Structure 1
Amino acid sequence: MAVELLQDDMEFTPKCEAALGEIFDRYDKDRDGALNEQELQAFATFTNGEPFSTVDLNDIRSNLDCTDDGSLLKGGFIQLYSLQTNAGDDEETWRDIKKHGYNDNLDLQSKLV
């Protein structure tokens, strides 16, 4: 899986950003544009097999784009993956995207959530 499908000059490609946005939208059940704790934990549990720890949640709220009440905005969700990918963990980013039904070309094959 090529990192150039994910990023171009350390910025997500439009196709990758669209995939991440679509994944975010699946978990934004109340359609308010942000993932509250319950929605964020549903994402974490599906993606990683377990919910975020309190420390992880606090890191997300402190370092990413969130609402005043601590809900993760779509921009913060993209930031989360940008930090992961730019830190050299593009394999983890690919794993997460593929777990949500995308193939090696970032085409949605099936919605699993």
Structure 2
Amino acid sequence: MVSLLDDDGAISEPFEKCLKQIFAKYCTPTLASPLSGDLPSDAYLDSTGLDAWASDTNGEPFSEDTKEEILEFMDVTAEGNLTFKGFLQVYQLQTENEEEESWSDLSKHGYDRSLNLIRKD
């Protein structure tokens, strides 16, 4: 099984690649090819993108309290939208505390335990 965190406890490169592809499906600006893994440096998740990602991952959008917490403690744009760095911070914390939850999220987005994309939505 591939490791989600590297020896230093940071997000591993293979995991980051998957997260980039997931983020790309929901970010602004909309990308023509989200699976390319090429994110513009100014990409972010606005409220609509955050809700869509949460719904696809958890079956429902985040509560307002959860959204506020994410946007308060994670990296955001000046307008308060979640950046890719902030998205990585969310998964860093989740994986450190509940790695199985991160694996579950990856599975919902079509990745197997080797971090291969087996289902494209």
Aligned match for 2:63, one of 53, 56, 65:
53
Q: Which runs of 5+ in 2 are unaligned?
A: 31-41
Q: Aligned pairs, how many?
A: 109
Does the CA contact (< 8 Å) of 2:111 and 2:117 recur in 1?
yes
1:25-64 correspondence runs (5 A): 25-31=24-30, 33-64=43-74
Name the TM-score, length of structure 1 as normaliser.
0.90
- Taking structure 2 as the reference length, the TM-score comes to 0.85
Q: After superposing the two structures, state which structure 1 stretch, 67-76 or 29-38, moved more.
A: 29-38
| Aligned partner letter, 1:78 | L
> Residue 74 and residue 100 in structure 1: after superposition, are their counterparts in 2 closer, same or farther (change >3 A)?
same
Q: How big is the shift at 1:29?
A: 4.8
Q: Give the RMSD, CA atoms, in angstroms.
A: 1.3
- Greater Cα shift, 5-14 or 99-108: 5-14
Kept in 1, the 8 Å contact 2:5–2:12? The answer is: yes
Aligned mate of 2:106, from 97, 101, 104: 97
The answer as to 2:23 corresponding to 1:24 is yes
Q: Quote the sequence identity (%).
A: 39
Deviation at 1:96, TM superposition (A): 0.2
Q: Please report how far the alpha carbon of residue 62 of structure 1 lies from its aligned counterpart in structure 2 after TM superposition.
A: 0.6
1:79 to 64, 67, 89: 89
Give 1:92 deviation, angstroms.
0.3
* Inter-CA distance 67–29: structure 2 relative to 1 (3 Å threshold): closer
